[in-house]
Structure 1
Amino acid sequence: MSLRYGILGFLSKWEATGYDLKKEFDDFMSIFWHSHLSQIYPELGRLEQDGFIASRMEPQSGKPDKKVYAITEKGKRELSSWLLSPPESPKIKDVFLMQVSFMDNIPIEEVVFQLKAYQKEREQRLAKMKRILLERWESIRERNLMKSRILMSSAVVRRGLEQELHYIRWCKDTIELVEACSHLWTADAEDREEKTIPFSEVEPAFRKFFGELLQIDDI
C-alpha cells in the first residue's frame, strides 16, 4: 500500500515516467524502500484508474513516445490525508537476523565468514548512500537553492547513513563476541547443540557486547 504513496509523493512536485520513478526508488528511496519496475507500473495503472494521477503521451524524436504521469487534485488530497495519518508500526522482516539466530548449527568459521560478508555488503550500501548524498549536495551548492523537499529528504538520508553505520558496528561486535566465545562450538555437528559451558566464562564478553545499552554494570 505504501508504494502508491511514495509514487504520489514524487509526483506531487514534478511529472515523471515509470522509468523516472524506478530510478528514484533505486537511488534515494533504496535507503528504506525497495521496489521492482514490475510493481511500479501496475500501481501507476491503479492510481490512474482511481483518479489520483493522470497520464499523457509525450513525443520523442527518433524514439517511441513516452508516457508521463502527473498527480491530480484528488491525488494531492489523498497524499495529504496519508501524510497526516498516524504511521503504522514497522513490520520488520530481516532475513539475515533470522539466519544469525540459528547459526549455532554451522561451524564457527562459517559464522564469522557470513558475518564478515554481510558487513561488507552493508559497507557497500553505506558507500552508495554517501555517494548519493555528496552528488545531491554538490548539485544544491551549484544551484545555490534549498527547498523543503530537499531538507526533509536529507533527514531521511541521514537516518539511512546512521542505520548502515549501526549495522556495520553490530557485525563487528558480533564477530568479536563469537570469536571470544568460540569454545561454544565443536567440530562435530552432532554435538554442537549440546555444547554448554559456565556462563561465568563468557560473561566478560557479554558485558562488553551489550555495554551501556542495558547498563549491564548494574547487574
Structure 2
Amino acid sequence: MSLRYGILGLLSEWDASGYDIKKEFDDLMGVFWHSHLSQIYPELNKLEKEKFITSQSIPQEGKPDKKIYSITSKGKEVLIHWLLTPPEPPKIKDPFLMQAFFMDHIPADEVILKLKMYKKGREQRLEKIKHAVEERFMSIKERNVMKARIIISAAVLKRGIQQEVQYINWCEETIQLVESCKFLWDKNKQTEFQYTDVSDQLSAYFFNALDI
C-alpha cells in the first residue's frame, strides 16, 4: 500500500510520467523503497480510477505520446491523511540474513566468502547513494533553492547512508567472528576449552558493539 502514497508524494511536488517516477524510486528513494515499473503503472491506473490523480497525453515527435500524471485535490487529501496516520511496525524481509541464519550447513570458508561478496555489494550501493546525494545537493546549490522537502528528505537520506555503513560494519565484524571460530564448523576439532573461549568472543561481538 505504501507505494501509492509514495507516488502521490512525488506528484504533490511536480507532474511526472511513469518513467520519471520510476527514476526517482531508482535514485534517492531507492535508499528506503524499491519498485518496478510493473508495479508503478498498475498503481497509477488504480489511482486515476479512484480520481486521486489525472493524466494527459503529451505528443512527442517520432515517439509515442508521453503520459503525464498530476495529483488532484482528493489525492492531496488522501496523502495528508496517510501522513498523519501512525505507521505500522516494519515487516522485515532480508534474504541475505535469512541465508546467513542457516550458514552453519556450508563450510566456514564459503560463509566468509559470501560475507565478503555481500559486503562488497553493500559498499557499491553506498557509493551509488553518496553519488546520487552529491548530485542532488549540487543541483540545489546551483539553483539556490531551499524547501522543507529538501530538509526532511536529507534526514531520510542520512538514515539510509547510516544503514549501509552499519551493514558493512556488521559484515566486517561477522567475518572476523567466523574466522576466529572456524573450528566450530568441524565437529572433530571442537573442545570444551574452545567453547569457553568462543563464548567470550560472542559476548564481545554482541555487547561491545551495542555499548551494553
Task: Give the structure 2 partner of residue 148 of structure 1.
Answer: 148
Task: Give the structure 1 partner of residue 57 of structure 2.
Answer: 57
Count of aligned residue pairs for this structure pair: 210
Task: Give the structure 1 partner of residue 198 of structure 2.
Answer: 202
Alignment partners' CA distance in 2, 1:151 and 1:160: 15
Percent identity between matched residues is 59
1:184 matches 2:172: no
Report the CA distance between 1:197 and its aligned residue.
4.4
Counterpart amino acid of residue 200 in structure 2: P
Alignment partners' CA distance in 2, 1:212 and 1:72: 48
Deviates further, 127-136 or 142-151: 142-151
Instruction: Extract unaligned runs of 5+ from structure 1.
Output: none
Distance 1:200 1:144, change over 3 A: same
Task: Give the structure 1 partner of residue 122 of structure 2.
Answer: 122
Asked if structure 2 preserves the Cα contact closer than 8 Å seen for 1:123 and 1:164, the reply is yes
Alignment partners' CA distance in 1, 2:6 and 2:209: 37
Report the CA distance between 1:212 and its aligned residue.
4.7
1:213 matches 2:177: no
SS, match of residue 202 in structure 1: helix
SS, match of residue 91 in structure 2: coil
Distance 1:56 1:128, change over 3 A: same
TM-score of the aligned structures, taking structure 2 as reference length: 0.95
Report the CA distance between 1:209 and its aligned residue.
1.1
Alignment partners' CA distance in 2, 1:106 and 1:27: 36
Distance 1:138 1:177, change over 3 A: same
Report the CA distance between 1:203 and its aligned residue.
2.7
Alignment partners' CA distance in 2, 1:116 and 1:14: 41
Backbone CA RMSD of aligned residues: 1.6
Alignment partners' CA distance in 2, 1:17 and 1:45: 12
Alignment partners' CA distance in 2, 1:196 and 1:101: 23
SS, match of residue 13 in structure 2: coil
Within a 5 Å distance, the mapping from 1:1-219 to structure 2 comes to: 1-186=1-186, 197-198=192-193, 199-210=195-206, 211-213=208-210, 215=212
Alignment partners' CA distance in 2, 1:162 and 1:17: 31
Counterpart amino acid of residue 68 in structure 1: I
Report the CA distance between 1:196 and its aligned residue.
6.7
Deviates further, 205-214 or 39-48: 205-214
TM-score of the aligned structures, taking structure 1 as reference length: 0.92
Distance 1:196 1:26, change over 3 A: farther
SS, match of residue 68 in structure 2: strand
Counterpart amino acid of residue 197 in structure 2: E
Counterpart amino acid of residue 18 in structure 2: G
Asked if structure 2 preserves the Cα contact closer than 8 Å seen for 1:184 and 1:197, the reply is no
Instruction: Extract unaligned runs of 5+ from structure 2.
Output: none
Alignment partners' CA distance in 1, 2:56 and 2:139: 29
Asked if structure 2 preserves the Cα contact closer than 8 Å seen for 1:184 and 1:196, the reply is no
Alignment partners' CA distance in 2, 1:91 and 1:42: 23
